[in-house]
Amino acid sequence: MTEVAEAQDFISQCSEAALSRDPIFALFKKQDIEASLAASATGKYADFWTVDKLADFNNTVDACKDCPPEVKAIFSGSKNPRLRASKIGNLLLNHAKELKESGGLNAAVPQSPAANTQTFAAQEAATPRAATAPSPGRSVHASTSDGVQDGPALLTLPAMQRYEFDGNLPPDCQLRVRGGPTSDAETLGVVTRADEIYATAVYGDWIKVELPGSGFTGEAWMMRQMESTPLLVPASEPPLNSTGYQGTGHAVDFDPLQSSIRSQSSTRSPSRQVSRNELAASTGPRIASAGNTNALSQSVLASTQFNSSDMPQTVSYAAYQMLEIRVSRLEQELSNVLAKLRSV
């Protein structure tokens, strides 16, 4: 039998009451210890000790007045979630082996239903609950009857801000989406680096998000940082107007033509300017319309992109695509009007 298997067998024979008498194991639930030991077989502790579980355990450690120093050391030094998960996994494995070899913990101690209830109540009391979601219309400075502010302030963003995974997170990291700004809220799903994330409000360490094409309905929240460790950071691109996002991944009301941006098209040099003839003849990928750019599209492009002096303006390829969406909608509306006129 391997050391990991022996440690698992030892913990499985220990009652909750016996584990609660140990200063280290008392901070964990028995099922969490067993799951962590199971992960020891592969060393992939981060598969079990996710970002959310690390945040919950950190709250438990902060609430413990006599927390063992070896447990406190987990949250000192590096703030990399994967490294912290490994620290917890190795601590539990080594501690279980030490207790087994020394004969510590009386595994034969019976545990009555009353003891089960008391142990669970103690664990619940030691784990502070995250702030509940603010109700709609609640003042961001709402306070309790004794004058103490009730939770962090809810900051509604004037424009939707795109967020992305922090560069220090593992490449295959996944972050959970919850129904409220608390670790106790329902888990709606997970997102990866490839997903688009837009924030509409900030509430403490959480952001209220909209996820294009995800299928999530209702409120969706994500943790943007754990303690001072960033998980989600604002993207480098400009924020989207909150009225422009339509849940399809395109912000049709955002006008990037107001800013002078170098062309980022793969077919043009970054420093090259786009002339009127080049732009009108461009056959780049279409976003919302089919076929080539017609006379109406070219007219709108010409009148929007260039000033009266006919001097070429610097425009990004993304701006051209955004304008294509608008032109397509105008064409569709015009077609609808003509169809109605013909039916009269």
Tell how far CA 281 is from the center of its chain.
41
CB atoms within 10 A of CB 193: 14
Burial class (CB in 10 A: 0-12, 13-18, 19+), 330: middle
Mean pLDDT over each residue of the chain, to the nearest integer: 69
pLDDT surpasses 90 at 250: no
All structural domains of the chain with their residue ranges: 3-126, 154-241, 256-343
pLDDT attached to residue 249 = 38
pLDDT attached to residue 102 = 84
Q: Indicate whether this model's pTM tops 0.85.
A: no
Is 144 in contact with 78 (CB distance < 8 Å)? Answer: no
More confident residue, 273 or 105: 105
pLDDT surpasses 80 at 11: yes
Is 42 in contact with 127 (CB distance < 8 Å)? Answer: no
Confidence tier at 267 by pLDDT (50, 70, 90): very low
Confidence tier at 80 by pLDDT (50, 70, 90): confident
CA-based nearest residue to 170, from 74, 85, 87: 85
Lowest mean pLDDT across 151-155, 172-176, 273-277, 316-320: 273-277
> Which pair of tokens denotes residue 214?
């995800």
Greatest CA separation found in the chain? 94
pLDDT digits (tens, 9 = 90+) for 185-196: 888 888 888 888
Confidence tier at 72 by pLDDT (50, 70, 90): confident
CA distances to 43, 63, 89, 168, 344 from 83, in Å: 11, 22, 10, 12, 71
pLDDT digits (tens, 9 = 90+) for 272-281: 444 444 434 4
CA-based nearest residue to 273, from 307, 311, 314, 309: 314
Phi, psi of 164 (to 5 degrees): -140, 165
Is 267 in contact with 276 (CB distance < 8 Å)? Answer: no
pLDDT digits (tens, 9 = 90+) for 281-324: 444 433 333 344 444 444 444 444 444 444 555 556 666 667 77
More confident residue, 94 or 122: 94
Lowest mean pLDDT across 146-150, 164-168, 212-216: 146-150
Pick among 2.30.30, 1.10.10, 1.20.120, 3.30.410: CATH of 154-241: 2.30.30
